[in-house]
Amino acid sequence: MSADHRLACYGTLAPGQANHHELDGLAGHWRAGIVRGWRLAEGQGAALGYPVLLPDPAGGTVAVQLFESAGLPAQWARLDAFEGEGYRRIEIPVETAGGPLPAWIYVAA
């Protein structure tokens, strides 16, 4: 599967978090992973305890939950609208136990 079928979550879309329901109804599976970068107390989610990610290949490790689903490509426009103008979606390598995988992730706009 390509990055279009993967979403790396470090905030409200992750399992057990406030907006996980946005992924309800999508068949798929979750696995643990890490991305490289820094969490910054900026952006619209920071006040709610969800600092934004600043990607940096030389940065520290940031734990993510990686969702893989054949249904994600049909949901990107809706998820982009949900995240709003304060975020943008970028492709990022996610380190997993099975090796690196390309995925999309939301970062500050």
Domain range enclosing 76:
3-108
pTM here is 0.92
For the domain that residue 8 is a member of, what is the CATH number? 3.10.490.10
Domain count, the chain: 1
Please tell me the predicted confidence (pLDDT) of residue 48: 67
43: pLDDT strictly greater than 80 = no
Helix, strand, coil % over all residues of the chain, rounded to 5: 20, 45, 35
Let me know: does 10 contact 53? Beta carbons within 8 Å.
yes
